Copies of this chain bind each other. A is one copy, B any other.
Amino acid sequence: MSNIDNNLVLVLIDAIEHNKFAEALTAVKGLPSVDLADILEQLDPTLGWRLLECLPDRADVFSYFEPEQQVRMAREFPRATLAQLVSEMPADERTDLFKRFDQNQRDILLPALAHAEREDIRRLSAYVEGTAGALMTSDYATLQKEMTVAQAMAYLRDEAPDAETIYQAYVIDDKRRLLGTVSLRDLILADLHKTIEDLMISDVVSADVIDDQEDIAKKIARYDLLALPILDQYRVLVGIVTYDDAMDVASEEVTEDIHKSAGVSTIIGSLKDASIGLLYRKRIFWLVLLVFGNLFSGAGIAHYEDIIAANIVLVFFLPLLVDSGGNAGSQSATLMVRALATGEVVMRDWLQLIGREALVALALGCTMAAAVSILGYIRGDETVALVLALSMVSIVMIGCMIGMSLPFVLSKFNFDPASASAPLITSVCDATGVVIYLFIASKLLEDVALAAV
């Protein structure tokens, strides 16, 4: 997505190297922070840092750097500069950065921060990664229900929270329990003398601080929220999660599901920066497991060694038949895993779906059987064609049933349905496919042999 103007980068390098910072600032004026961050990441770190230092919204730009880059740069900063930058960052980003620091960096940073920020970092970093608590920010505006609209507006003007968070204010009682929410839209449309209590919506969609981040993202998407208030077990407001962070989480979760679909355990961070060792570890587990899984196919073949030896033409069609079961099964599993992930389909739909799937599989199997039996007739005879056609229909139908059911079964036993990966389905379908094919072959070809006798 980034479309960096290389000319601009050259102009910047020249300006900074000659200490013409005013010129550099003019060149980047009006650029969105995320674009600026991309450009700065391309510069030599010391040059980038010198430009960053004089940017008006440097904390915002810094927030857009890759996490590793943030840690690397932070190591180079003088303590006072780092502390200032960190205190300007949004509370959630600041906490994420802090969590990535080693103990040494933390010990340097903490004493340089103001007390409130120090406590905020400590509090936010205590939540378990992957929960609402670890995702939320403490940058939000709260109102009291007794305030008038005029007072509330004056208060919001004074606090001037971020654009992200000013549009929805939360009404709390003296114990910080959530009573309701008021949008800035409702505030500016309302009579100035009304109270917040008159105006607020009391049925607030909220989430629990220990909820899974995936559920948070789904809730924000479902209710089209700008931010979701997060409560602890006493219904005390402890933070909010904003929609842009929810979008990032949704994207990460999708990446995780897609990787799982190919039998890759989750990779943390960018693929481009992943080390060889990390990639190896995340991939080897399923690969080796499937090697052993494929032994069942081998055992199936070994069991029918005689019939293969007597009819070597069967081997010619072996990959084609077993792969077809795996392919059809992977389709079923993939459709089902995605539908479960988006919530389109729930557990109780299983029976209805399996019935329809059986009919789809029958239609798919018959079409593929027609294709393969022609090939079988050309290369073998009508008996081979019949063996192939019967095998194909059975293999495709069983493959689809396995592919469709496995995600449900995994889900039922509280495993991630996304673990029903294409390689796993393929291995299972291979083994059943081998047995079905060679069983049918042994029956029909024996019959023919007997008939010939």
Contacts and interface: CB of A to CB of B under 8 A. Distances in A.
Interface string A189-216: 1000000000001110100000000000
Contact of A315 (B308, B363, B371): B308
A367 B284 CA distance: 8
A81 B34 CA distance: 47
Counted per complex, copies of this chain come to 2
Nearest to A403: B262
A183 interface: yes
A427 B322 CA distance: 11
B297 A31 contact: no
Contacts of A444: none
Interface stretch (A51-59, A100-108, A342-350): A342-350
A163 B183 CA distance: 8
A160 interface: yes
A291 interface: yes
Given A157-B189, A258-B261, A339-B272, A298 B327 contact: no
Contact of A30 (B202, B258, B302): B202
B271 A345 contact: yes
B368 A288 contact: yes
Main secondary structure of the interface of A (DSSP, over half): helix
Interface string A173-196: 000000000011100110000000
A232 interface: no
A422 B337 CA distance: 15
Interface in A362-378: 363-364, 367-368, 371-372, 375
A338 interface: yes
Interface in A121-159: 153, 156-157
B264 A331 contact: yes
Contact of A279 (B29, B360, B368): B360
A291 to B, nearest CB: 5
B287 A328 contact: yes
Contacts of A354: none
Interface in A216-266: 218-219, 221-224, 226, 243-244, 247-248, 250-251, 254-255, 257-259, 261-264
Contacts of A324: 287, 290-291, 294
A167 B219 CA distance: 22
B205 A32 contact: yes
A166 B183 CA distance: 11
27 contacts: A1-B343, A2-B343, A32-B203, A157-B188, A164-B224, A167-B167, A184-B185, A188-B188, A221-B251, A247-B250, A254-B254, A259-B335, A262-B335, A270-B344, A271-B335, A271-B336, A271-B338, A276-B356, A279-B356, A280-B363, A280-B364, A292-B371, A294-B323, A298-B320, A301-B318, A318-B318, A323-B430
Q: Please provide the 5 A-B residue pairs with the shortest distance between their CB atoms, ordered closest to farther.
A: A30-B203, A262-B334, A294-B320, A297-B319, A422-B422
